[in-house]
Amino acid sequence: MNINNAMNKVVFSGVCGWTILGFKRGIDSYKFNFLNDELDKNKKSETPRRPLYIKEAYWGVVGAVFYITPVLCFVAAYKEIYRLEVNLRGLEDEKKTRFYNEIF
């Protein structure tokens, strides 16, 4: 096995994994915003709405593009390090904040 071939596979796997993580973060961001907006609307109305799958997919793609863009990936890396610290320190209240759940 050639070392360049192995290195290419590692880089390809890293880029794919980073993009998939961005897709997941985009969906999580949409769900967080949808639930918070719904809670505010449900105080006024008794008919809850359901999230739209097309909007979840859209925000997933937005997150993937945000994570894969070379300039913006540094912002995404900062947010991932922040999330890692929150999880390692067990700051459960911090996980409910808008900063933790937004992709930008």
Question: Is residue 61 a contact partner of residue 20, using CB atoms and an 8 Å limit?
Answer: no
pTM of the model: 0.83
User: What's the confidence (pLDDT) of residue 3?
Assistant: 82
Q: Domain count for the chain, please give it.
A: 1
What separation, in Å, do the N-terminal and C-terminal C-alpha atoms of the chain show? 40
Residue pointed to by tokens 């390809």: 12
Mean pLDDT, range 13-21, rounded to an integer: 95
Distance CA 103, CA 46 (A): 30
Q: How many CB atoms lie within 10 A of CB 20?
A: 14
Q: Which of 54 and 104 is assigned the larger pLDDT?
A: 54
How many Å apart are CA 90 and CA 98, to the nearest integer?
17
Phi then psi dihedrals of residue 6, to 5 deg: -65, -40
Rg (alpha carbons) of the chain, rounded to whole number: 17
Supply the pLDDT for residue 25.
95
Residue 87 structural domain: 3-101
